[in-house]
Structure 1
Amino acid sequence: MTKAEKTKNYIVEKTAPIFNMKGYAGTSLNDITAATGLTKGSIYGNFANKDEVALAAFDYNLNSNVKKIEAAVSKSRSTKSKLLAYIAVYESVLVDGITVGGCPVLNTAIDADDTHPALREKVLRAVLSWKKGISSLVTDGINNGEITAGTDPEQVALTLIAMIEGAIMISRLTNNFDHWHSIMNSLKKYINSLG
């Protein structure tokens, strides 16, 4: 890895939590320089503009969560336990603060919805990939008899995503993690009812 690549990675690693907490509009160049200890010239010597830093920071935050999910899912044997692994990972993101600021998909989707088309596109691809992954798990579960035949994999995926992201939003907004647990208990019952 070249020195320039190391510097870019350093900038992304240090600013990713800030973008996740403050959003694109709320993160200033001063925030970036304070977090990295680098000058504006150093930042712009490695990135053309704040947009590039924000896009790279989203990728970093997303990939961090995806790795955690993949690790949890890979340890699970049954389809239902794999689906339940998503709940465990997001609970650790939310409660244990593994990802500073909460879920980068939810945060960036709200932040970039009407203001940053490139970030919005990245979030859209992330959600579609998430939906595809869950749908694939459900299809495998149907094929191996763990999940009832006739179950709609896409509907299950959308329900799981919506309930997780909705629970994160509600519990963070109210600062009441009992809401998270209540919604996740409903989601667990839903997953267990699939077959």
Structure 2
Amino acid sequence: MARLTRAESQARTRQQLVETARELFLCDGYSATSLEKVADAAGYSKGAVYSNFRNKDELCLAVLDTIHEQQATSMTESLASADSMEGMLAAFQEWAERSIGDEAWTALEVEFATNARRNQHIRAELATRDRTIRDLISGLLTAHAERFDITLPMPADDCATALLSLGIGLGVQRAIDPGIPVRVLPEVIRLLAGSTPKEPPT
């Protein structure tokens, strides 16, 4: 077996630290998880953590990046096979049922953002990531509007901001009460598309 180069070894160490931190952050929370705990659980020294991340904030950003990337890929793949507006809405609702309101993920996002409220650097980093997510949603809205010959009632960026804001709020509510229905999201998309909302199941 070929020996790993230094760069490959460092990349593997970084990946293992991020995976371990993800498990701990989601299980125990951001504040309760120390860098020492991450290092011990991953089987590395604390120095190995600092050689890859300047502090716990940067490690958490890397964890959130992996979660966001996985969710974005999952959502995009779910919508890709839809061949009609109704199919797209059904696929989106299935994804939303699986993802929006996940208690551990939602709690981590809220806790980290709250802790970072006085840290201008981290707030800027979070804002950049928020912009990336909005751009993804805007791109999907534009692509599907063209595909299904839909005229959006306002610019795609504004629609994306509205949907993301609704999704975040709904996620927090569902983390507290999973019984809150997720169907409001696809119904809002239906309204944006100029369609009549479906009657909720009785």
TM bin (shorter chain): 0.7 to 0.9
Aligned residues: 187
Task: Tell me, in whole angstroms, the C-alpha distance in 2 between the residues paired with 1:137 and 1:151.
Answer: 15
**One-letter identity of the residue aligned with 2:47:** G
TM-score when normalising by structure 1 = 0.74
RMSD: 3.1
Q: Residues 108 and 120 of structure 1 are in contact (CA less than 8 Å); yes or no, is this contact kept in structure 2?
A: no
> What are the residue-to-residue correspondences of 1:155-194 with 2, within 5 Å?
155-172=158-175, 174=176, 176-179=177-180, 181=181, 184-193=182-191, 194=193
**One-letter identity of the residue aligned with 2:120:** P
> What are the residue-to-residue correspondences of 1:33-182 with 2, within 5 Å?
33-78=39-84, 81-82=87-88, 85-94=91-100, 101-103=104-106, 106-107=109-110, 110-144=113-147, 146-148=149-151, 150-172=153-175, 174=176, 176-179=177-180, 181=181
Q: Which runs of 5+ in 2 are unaligned?
A: 195-202
TM-score when normalising by structure 2 = 0.72
Per the alignment, in what secondary structure is the counterpart of residue 27 of structure 1? coil
Q: Residues 108 and 123 of structure 1 are in contact (CA less than 8 Å); yes or no, is this contact kept in structure 2?
A: no
**Are 2:37 and 1:31 aligned?**
yes
1:84 Cα shift?
5.6
Q: Which runs of 5+ in 1 are unaligned?
A: none
Task: Tell me, in whole angstroms, the C-alpha distance in 2 between the residues paired with 1:76 and 1:108.
Answer: 35
1:90 Cα shift?
3.6
Which structure's residues are more often helix, by fraction?
A: 1
Identify the residue that residue 19 of structure 2 maps to in structure 1.
13
